Structure 1
Amino acid sequence: MREHGYDPEQTLHCIGERAAEIIHIGQAVLGLGGTIEYFRDTVFNYPTLAEAYKVAALAGLNRL
């Protein structure tokens, strides 16, 4: 069910002390119609907190 722009198929969660530093990356990708594969295929600077997206995407794809 989609209400007020909420789509349960596209939900983003960032939890932790520095979540505010990376949430915008996920918002931008979802807003532009991106998928989890974007995070798998994108090179992020290392080591940075933003790399957490790639690690999470790979973990999620391995569970599918």
Structure 2
Amino acid sequence: MFSSDQELSTYIEEDHPEWEIKNGFVFFQKAKDSQPCKEIPSLQLINQTLSYARELERIV
């Protein structure tokens, strides 16, 4: 993507100052901690989908 290390360094300095170059490696900023993912209520979704399917079957 870049023809030289200098081009890469310039790109990082201008567009991604949170990235670091150490010993020839690029270190990206750690992802920000977000709220923990909530569990998907799979059984509830299955029951709801089956209920919709039964209702559609009654209509048809």
**TM-score when scaled to structure 1?**
0.24
Query: Based on CA coordinates, which of the two structures has the bigger radius of gyration?
Result: 2
Structure with a larger share of its residues in strand: 2
**TM-score when scaled to structure 2?**
0.26
